[in-house]
Structures are given as structure tokens and as C-alpha cells.
């Protein structure tokens, strides 16, 4: 198994990256199962908080009164109103809502109802904290001024007052919240009544101010109008301007002459057109004269007779020419008659031309005469218009002053009438009554919100704990993060007493492995356990991935105490049980924990073999019950350069000897993160197993460890997830929930 690139670490939980809806629901359910304690605790805490709030919060009651804003007025008031009517639109209604909630209304209600004398608005001498704890302050508050009491009452009043528009209608809902139900209704009605009175007062004051101003303004406009009218009369007398029916005489004459000139020009053009037409006909010569015509010729009996005669002769000439020939004497006579008739028609047209020429000259002369008269009239009108410009200004000024005076006088009269009967657009349509139920706090809503808030808080905290839980929990996480298969899930065995103890002193020989009843002996003592089945998976992986018959396998981990020594020993026992020759080598030269467990009385170790002082048989310990051999790592002096020892030729020769003599050479190596010893061993092993402790080892620690040892990572046969809590693991891989349940293993005789 070879790998070229180190795996990329992923900090988010693997289920979050699934895209299907079903998997997302499954992941959410798994999250709930894993974090239900946090969610339940937060929910209970929030519910308790809500209950305490409901117990200590005094009830409040809200009463509502309704106002309608009717902008329509009677016909009389619409005609007599001197103030512009405000359009009854949404903006105006919202403005009235703000008027209801204004400080002016609040202060008038406070004054009318003497609210500054009520503890609800000005407070009491005992604060809320003291009331909650049952203590009373010994020293009373210093007396407050009337202004302070009013301001504090107004603040409380504004907080408890509600005013809003009902939907898109013109109805305003006025509500007030108080500790006393009757007081809430009283204040709500008082606010509505005060608003109406305020509107009446405002209109009365506006009308009064407008009346005074209108009276002064009307008197001034009357004097200005009189002065302007006198100036108009004097100017007309001075410039001799005379008008009839509202128009100047000079302008009337220009208009009449202009109309006559337009008519004369039309007549002249018509006469000239008739003359041009008949002259064009005459110029076409006698060949086409008989065919051309004019309007007057059509109505002339002589022309009609000549044309009829001409047509008859033409028809006869054509018929006789066809019968007797063109040169026949009778035909030639007819042709001469045709020529004579055509000349007669032409002479008749010339007489018409003389008449048209005379009519055209007469029309032209009349047009010239009118043009001269119009020019003279225009000259006279221009002189008058120069003076009229100034006259128009004087008349306009006089008219404006007179119109303004009449308008202001009318409005002044209307304002005097309205002052005696002011009206308002608002009226009460529903008075507030005593509420029967409290408005706040709402027990059901508060409790529901508290529970929902607790659930949300618990879910949020659970999600944060889930995201921050950057440790290996599932085989999928191992394979995704490390890009290496997880070959076995070794369950956590918490009760070591279940393993049968065998005292080392009862065995023959001084170099017999001591069985202390720890978990590592569970394979031989309880072969039908799930622990033993997981070790069988490790052995099968080694057999399938290492082709040669003699296997050298190293066990390491990222950190100490992850259980690599236990798994290595368990694998050695399993291989020995099936008839293989197995030796376990304690390769942790700095901290030989396996040697202290199996050979606590050893005085020689692997260092003596490497030095050549003793042979392998002199140093090795044996398990007489299981057939396993153990090579301790005891050394008389502490080794400093253990990585150099493992990389030496002597170590290579030792492992070559072990490969020849044993079917399985299983080495317990030091962890990767704190030491560099494992990096010096790739030339010695056929493969490695990386042991990761379930729920403890973090992603980034393992990532860092394998990044520092790329050759070890390339030689990994797989990852072993150790010390797995099988019940808890089912919460992280719900699709394998049944797989982790023991009853399915019990069918085949397996036990925990």
C-alpha cells in the first residue's frame, strides 16, 4: 500500500458534508441523540426561568377605546371652511396616531386624573430588588419636585399607552395598560376624549388667528383696489382710449379689414385661376379645343350646342369615310364643317377669356384697396397698443386687488361664523370597558417561548460542542481524514476482572511472560468476544496485504496511552493460537512499558542482542500457555540515541534473523508525535498499523504525526480505532446502529 500525498484534514463533522435530505435528517437525529443532555438541561433551565418570571411579575390589564377619523363634513361647513382640509390618506392617519401618543395629550390626561399621586406611575419607597428579597429600605427616598414627578409619570404613561391604526381603515385603537383593570379603562377613555378636545381647541385657535389676520388684510386690499381703479380711469382719459363691448375701436377695425382682405385675396386668386385655365385651353390650338372645357362652358347653351354639333359631324365623317373613302367629296365637305365648328368653339372660348380677364383685374384692384386701408388701420392700432400695454398693467393690478379683497372678505365672514360652532374629524365609536383577563404576562406564550428558547439554546450549544469535537468518532471519519482504511473497531473493555488471571510464579521457568489479567490477554481467555473478533480483522488485513510468509509488522500511535501495546499483544496471541510462530518485540526503547508488564524481572534486553553480548534465545521470554515469544527492551543504562539504534545495521540483521525464524514479528513502537524513532524504521517492516484512541485523539494531532513521517504513512496497512464505546458510537453512525448492537453477534456465540 503506497500513498503519495498526505491526507487533507477536515475540521467539520463528516455528516455535515452530505448533501441528501435523508442524510441531513439522519445526522440531525444523531446530533439530538448525542447532545440530548445539553438540550434537555437548557430546556429545563429556560422553563424554570420562565416559571420564576411568571411568579414574580405582577399582572397587567389593557383596555381599548376606538376612534374614527371622518374627514367628511356637511355641505355648509365645506363651503364655509377657511382652513384647507387635510387629505384623509394613510400619512394623515399615521400623523394622528402620533398626536394621540404626544406629550401634550399625556400631560393633560395626567393632570385631569391626578396620576402623579399613584404609586404605579411615580413608584414607591421600596425598589423591586428589595421587594423580591423581602427587604425594605430603612431610609426613605428624598422628596421629589413636581416637575420630576410629572416627567416620571409621563415616561411611565408613554410606555403603557398604545395607539395604532386598525388595518387600512380610518379607525384608531387607543389602549392603555395598568395594574388596575378599572384604571386602564378610565385612562383609555380619557385619552380618547382629550384627543378630541385637543383637536377642537386647535381648530378654534386657528380660526381665531385667521379671522384677525383676514380682517386686517381685507381692509388693506380695499384701499389698494380703490387707488388702482382711479389710476385706470385717469390713464384712459389721458390717451383717448375708447372701447366698445370690452374691445378697443382700433382693434375692431383692424379685425374687420383683415377679414375683408382675406376674402378679397381668395376672390382674386379664383379669378386668376379661371383666366389661366381658359388661356391654357386657347394656347393648345384648334386640335384639342373641342375636347377642353371650363365650368361656365358647361352651363352655356351655345357651347353645348356647338359641341353636340361637332360630335355629330365627327361621327358622320368617320362612318362615311369607312363607306365611301376618305377622299370622297361628301366626306371632305363634312371634314370642312368640322373645322368650322371647331373654330366657332374657339371663338366662344376667347370671349370667355375676355370676361375672366376683366373679373381678375377688378378683384386685384379691390385687394390693393383693402391692403392700403389695413396698413393704415394697423398703424393707428400700434399707437393705441403702446398705451394699452401700460393700461393692461393698471387694469390687472386693479382687478387683482379687487378679487383679493372680495375673497378675503368672504373668508373673514365664514371664519366669524365657524368660531361659534367648531367641528372635528374624530369621534369615539367604542368606549373602553373593564378588561376581564390580564394582558401580560401571557402564561402560555411566556412558557412556550421559554421552552423554545431553551431548545434553541440547547441545540446551539450542542451544535457548537459537535463542531468543536474534533476527535475520531467513526470509521468514516478515519477514512475521510486520513485517507486510510479503518481495519478494525476495538471495543472498550472496562472490567478487566473478567479476564482470568494466571500468576507468572506458577509457571515453570524463570523467563515466562507474566499474565496480569489485563485486557491484552482477552484474545486467549475470551476468544468469542467482540474484542477478539476485532483483532481477527487486524490479522486478516495483515495476511492479505503482506505477500511474503514471514511478516514484520509495527504498531504505533500518534500519542502515548492509545492502546497500541495491547492491540499488538492481542494480535500476537491470535497468530500464535492458529499455529504461527510469533514474537513480540518491545521497540519502545525509551519507555518500555510492555517489558515492565510482561517481563518485570528482566535484566537483559534487545540492546544486549544488538551489542552481540547475548543471543536471541538468551534474552527472549515465552508464553507457555499461548506459544508467544517476547523480546524485552530492558537496558542497564538509559539509551539516548534510540533512533540511531533502530536505524543501525545491527538492528537490520536482528530483524532479518527474526523474519527467518518467526512467521509473525510484531513490534510495539513508540508514538509518532513525541519521538522520531518510528521514522527510522521503514526499512525494517512490511507494514504498520496506526492505533487511534476513540473519542480522545484529535484530527490535527494525527495529521501532524503522519505528516512528519511520510514513509511510515506510505507503509500503513490500516488504522485501528481503539477503546471504542460501542453504545455511544452507534449515536455517531446511525446507519450502523444495528451493527453495533450485541444481539447480532450473540447469534454466533460472541459476547462483549
705: Cβ–Cβ under 8 A, 6 or more apart, which residues?
A: 558, 671, 672, 673
Last residue in a domain, options 210, 225, 256: 210
**Interatomic CA distance for residues 703 and 471, integer angstroms:** 12
Which of 169-183, 190-204, 224-238 has the lowest average pLDDT?
A: 224-238
What percentage of residues in the chain have a pLDDT greater than 90? 13
Q: Please write the tens of the pLDDT for every residue from 192-202.
A: 899 888 888 88
> What are the grid coordinates assigned to 616, written together?
536471541
Distances from the Cα of 14 to the Cαs of 268, 698, 734, 736, in angstroms? 106, 14, 13, 15
Whether residue 419 is predicted with pLDDT greater than 80 in this model: the reply is no
pLDDT of residue 738: 57
Between residues 540 and 80, which one has the greater pLDDT? 540
CA atoms of 675 and 94, how far apart (whole Å):
77
Rg (CA), the chain: 61
Mean pLDDT for 262-286 is: 77
**What average pLDDT score do residues 92-120 get?**
88
| Lowest pLDDT segment from 101-110, 161-170, 216-225 | 216-225
What average pLDDT does range 585-604 have in this prediction?
86
Looking at the domain assignment, is residue 329 inside a domain?
no
Whether residue 20 sits in one domain with residue 40: yes
How many whole angstroms separate alpha carbon 382 and alpha carbon 361? 32
415 occurs within a structural domain: no
Please state, in angstroms and rounded to a whole number, the distance separating the CA atoms of residues 57 and 699. Answer: 50
Supply the mean pLDDT for the chain. 78
Is the domain of 720 the same as that of 620? Answer: yes
Q: Are residue 44 and residue 134 in the same domain, yes or no?
A: no
What per-residue confidence (pLDDT) applies to 229?
77
Provide mean pLDDT across the span 405-428.
74
The mean per-residue pLDDT over the stretch 385-398 comes to 74
Both 18 and 112 in one domain: the answer is no
Domain annotation covers residue 646: yes
Q: Does residue 130 share a domain with residue 44?
A: no
Whether 492 has a pLDDT exceeding 70, the answer reads: yes
Structural domain of residue 454, as residue ranges? 14-52+442-468
Average pLDDT of the residues in 338-354: 77
pLDDT bracket for residue 538 (50, 70, 90): very high
User: 149-163, 296-310, 338-352, 524-538 — which is least confidently predicted?
Assistant: 296-310
Of 154, 178, 210, which marks where a domain is finished? 210
Rounded CA-CA distance 283/277 in Å is: 10
Q: Which of 210, 238, 264 is the last residue of a domain?
A: 210
- What CATH code is carried by the domain that includes residue 590? 3.40.50.300
Percent helix, percent strand, percent coil in the chain, to nearest 5: 60, 10, 30
The predicted model gives 706-713 an average pLDDT of 90
Most confident of the following: 95-104, 434-443, 517-526: 95-104
Within this chain, do residues 107 and 47 fall inside the same structural domain, yes or no? no
The pLDDT value recorded for residue 711 is 92
The pLDDT of 347-354, averaged and rounded, is: 77
The answer on pLDDT for 505 being more than 50 is no
Q: What is the pLDDT of residue 396?
A: 82
Same domain, 562 and 652: yes
Q: Report the number of distinct structural domains present in the chain.
A: 3
At residue 224, the pLDDT reads 80
φ, ψ at 4 (rounded to 5°): -105, -30
CA distances from 330 to 220, 317, 324, 335, 340 (A): 108, 9, 9, 9, 16
- In terms of pLDDT, which residue wins out, 286 or 708? 708
> Cell 391604526 appears where?
165
- Return the pLDDT at 295: 60
CB count, 10 Å around CB of 608? Answer: 18
Residue 94 within a domain: yes
Least confident of 63-77, 249-263, 429-443: 63-77
Average the pLDDT over 135-148 and give the result: 63
- Tell me whether residue 116 is in a domain: yes
Would 635 be classed as within a structural domain? yes
Q: What is the model's pLDDT at position 652?
A: 92
Q: Is the dihedral of CA 232, 234, 239, 243 positive or negative?
A: positive
- Same domain, yes or no: 616 and 736: yes
Is 607 within a domain?
Answer: yes
Q: Which range (70-74, 299-303, 334-338, 595-599) has the least confidence?
A: 70-74
Q: Is the peptide bond before 441 cis (omega within 30 degrees of 0)?
A: yes
Domain co-membership, 88 together with 43:
no
What is the grid cell recorded at 352? 370667355
pLDDT at res. 35:
77
Q: Which of 661, 654, 660, 664 is nearest to 551 (CA)?
A: 664
Q: Same domain, yes or no, for 572 and 713?
A: yes
Query: Looking at 84-88, 367-371, 441-445, 690-694, which range is the least confident one?
Result: 84-88
Identify whether residues 37 and 73 lie together within a single domain.
no
What's the CATH code of the domain at 190? 3.30.1890
**pLDDT over 80 at 558, yes or no:** yes
Query: What mean pLDDT comes out for the span 265-292?
Result: 70
* 26 and 167 assigned to the same domain: no
pLDDT of 16 reads 44
Q: Grid coordinates representing 157?
A: 404613561
Q: Locate cell 427587604: which residue? A: 135
In the structure, what pLDDT confidence band is assigned to residue 40 with cuts at 50, 70 and 90? confident
Q: Looking at residue 17, what DSSP letter applies?
A: G
Using pLDDT thresholds of 50, 70 and 90, give the confidence band for residue 83: low
Q: How far is C-alpha 357 from the chain's CA centre? A: 90
Task: For 292-341, give the DSSP string.
Answer: ---HHHHH-HHHHHHHHHHHHHHHHHHHHHHHH-TT-HHHHHHHHHHHHH
Q: What is the sign of the dihedral through the CA atoms of 469, 473, 479 and 483?
A: positive
Q: What is the pLDDT of residue 583?
A: 92
Whether residue 146 is contained in a domain is answered as yes
Amino acid at each position: 500500500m503506497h500513498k503519495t500525498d498526505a491526507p487533507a484534514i477536515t475540521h467539520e463533522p463528516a455528516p455535515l458534508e452530505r448533501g441528501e435530505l435523508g442524510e441531513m435528517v439522519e445526522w440531525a437525529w444523531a446530533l439530538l441523540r448525542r447532545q440530548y443532555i445539553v438540550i434537555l438541561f437548557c430546556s429545563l433551565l429556560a422553563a424554570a426561568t420562565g416559571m420564576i418570571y411568571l411568579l414574580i411579575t405582577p399582572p397587567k390589564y389593557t383596555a381599548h377605546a376606538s376612534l374614527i377619523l371622518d374627514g367628511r363634513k356637511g355641505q355648509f361647513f365645506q363651503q364655509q371652511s377657511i382652513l384647507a382640509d387635510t387629505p384623509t390618506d394613510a400619512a394623515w392617519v399615521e400623523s394622528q396616531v402620533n398626536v394621540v401618543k404626544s406629550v401634550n395629550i399625556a400631560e393633560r390626561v395626567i393632570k385631569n386624573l391626578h396620576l402623579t399621586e399613584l404609586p404605579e406611575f411615580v413608584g414607591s419607597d421600596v425598589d423591586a430588588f428589595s421587594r423580591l428579597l423581602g427587604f425594605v429600605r430603612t431610609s426613605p427616598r428624598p422628596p421629589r419636585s413636581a416637575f420630576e414627578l410629572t416627567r416620571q409619570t409621563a415616561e411611565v404613561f408613554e410606555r403603557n399607552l398604545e395607539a395604532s391604526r386598525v388595518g387600512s381603515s380610518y379607525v384608531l385603537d387607543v389602549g392603555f395598560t395598568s395594574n388596575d383593570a378599572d384604571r386602564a379603562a378610565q385612562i383609555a377613555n380619557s385619552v380618547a376624549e382629550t384627543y378630541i378636545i385637543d383637536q377642537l381647541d386647535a381648530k378654534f385657535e386657528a380660526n381665531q388667528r385667521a379671522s384677525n389676520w383676514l380682517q386686517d388684510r381685507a381692509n388693506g386690499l380695499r384701499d389698494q383696489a380703490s387707488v388702482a381703479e382711479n389710476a385706470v380711469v385717469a390713464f384712459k382719459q389721458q390717451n383717448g382710449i375708447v372701447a366698445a363691448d370690452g374691445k378697443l375701436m382700433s382693434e375692431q377695425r383692424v379685425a374687420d379689414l383683415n377679414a375683408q382682405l382675406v376674402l378679397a385675396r381668395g376672390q382674386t386668386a379664383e379669378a386668376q385661376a379661371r383666366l389661366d385655365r381658359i388661356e391654357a385651353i386657347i394656347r393648345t390650338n384648334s386640335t384639342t379645343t373641342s375636347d377642353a372645357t371650363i365650368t361656365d362652358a358647361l352651363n352655356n347653351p351655345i357651347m353645348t350646342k356647338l359641341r353636340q354639333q361637332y360630335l355629330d359631324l365627327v361621327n358622320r365623317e368617320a362612318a362615311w369615310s369607312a363607306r365611301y373613302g376618305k377622299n370622297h367629296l361628301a366626306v371632305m365637305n363634312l371634314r370642312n364643317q368640322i373645322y368650322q365648328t371647331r373654330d366657332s368653339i374657339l371663338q366662344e372660348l376667347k370671349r370667355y377669356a375676355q370676361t375672366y380677364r376683366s373679373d381678375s383685374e377688378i378683384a386685384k384692384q379691390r385687394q390693393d384697396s383693402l391692403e392700403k386701408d389695413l396698413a393704415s388701420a394697423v398703424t393707428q392700432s400700434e399707437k393705441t397698443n403702446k398705451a394699452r400695454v401700460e393700461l393692461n398693467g393698471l387694469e390687472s393690478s386693479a382687478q387683482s386687488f379687487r378679487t383679493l379683497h372680495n375673497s378675503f372678505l368672504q373668508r373673514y365672514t365664514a371664519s366669524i361664523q365657524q368660531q361659534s360652532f367648531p367641528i372635528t374629524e374624530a369621534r369615539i365609536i367604542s368606549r373602553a370597558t373593564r378588561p376581564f383577563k390580564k394582558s401580560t404576562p401571557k402564561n402560555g406564550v411566556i412558557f412556550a417561548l421559554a421552552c423554545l428558547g431553551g431548545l434553541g439554546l440547547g441545540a446551539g450549544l450542542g451544535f457548537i460542542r459537535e463542531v468543536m469535537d474534533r476527535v475520531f468518532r467513526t470509521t468514516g471519519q478515519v477514512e475521510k481524514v486520513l485517507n486510510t482504511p479503518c481495519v478494525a473497531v476495538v471495543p472498550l473493555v472496562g472490567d478487566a476482572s473478567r479476564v482470568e488471571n494466571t500468576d507468572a510464579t506458577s509457571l515453570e521457568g524463570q523467563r515466562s511472560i507474566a499474565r496480569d489479567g489485563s485486557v491484552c490477554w482477552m484474545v486467549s481467555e475470551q476468544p468469542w468476544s467482540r474484542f477478539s473478533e476485532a483483532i481477527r480483522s487486524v490479522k486478516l488485513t495483515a495476511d492479505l496485504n503482506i505477500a511474503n510468509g514471514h511478516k514484520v509488522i509495527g504498531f504505533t500511535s500518534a500519542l502515548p496511552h492509545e492502546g497500541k501495546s495491547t492491540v499488538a499483544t492481542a494480535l500476537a496471541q491470535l497468530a500464535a493460537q492458529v499455529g504461527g510462530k510469533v514474537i513480540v518485540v518491545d521497540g519502545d526503547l525509551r519507555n518500555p512499558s510492555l517489558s515492565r508488564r510482561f517481563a518485570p524481572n528482566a535484566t537483559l534486553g534487545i540492546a544486549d542482542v544488538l551489542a552481540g553480548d547475548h543471543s536471541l534465545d538468551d534474552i527472549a521470554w515465552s508464553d507457555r500457555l499461548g506459544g508467544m515469544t517476547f523480546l524485552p527492551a530492558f537496558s542497564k543504562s538509559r539509551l539516548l540515541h534510540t533512533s540511531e539504534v533502530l536505524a543501525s545495521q545491527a538492528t537490520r540483521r536482528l530483524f532479518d534473523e527474526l523474519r527467518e525464524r518467526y512467521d509473525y514479528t510484531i513490534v510495539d513502537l513508540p508514538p509518532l508525535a513525541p519521538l522520531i524513532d518510528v521514522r527510522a524504521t521503514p526499512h525494517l517492516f512490511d507494514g504498520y498499523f496506526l492505533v487511534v484512541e476513540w473519542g480522545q485523539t484529535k484530527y490535527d494531532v494525527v495529521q501532524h504525526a503522519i505528516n512528519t513521517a511520510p514513509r511510515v504513512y506510505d507503509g500503513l496497512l490500516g488504522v485501528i480505532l481503539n477503546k471504542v464505546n460501542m453504545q455511544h458510537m452507534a449515536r455517531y453512525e446511525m446507519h450502523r446502529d444495528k451493527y453495533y448492537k450485541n444481539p447480532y453477534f450473540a447469534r454466533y456465540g460472541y459476547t462483549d
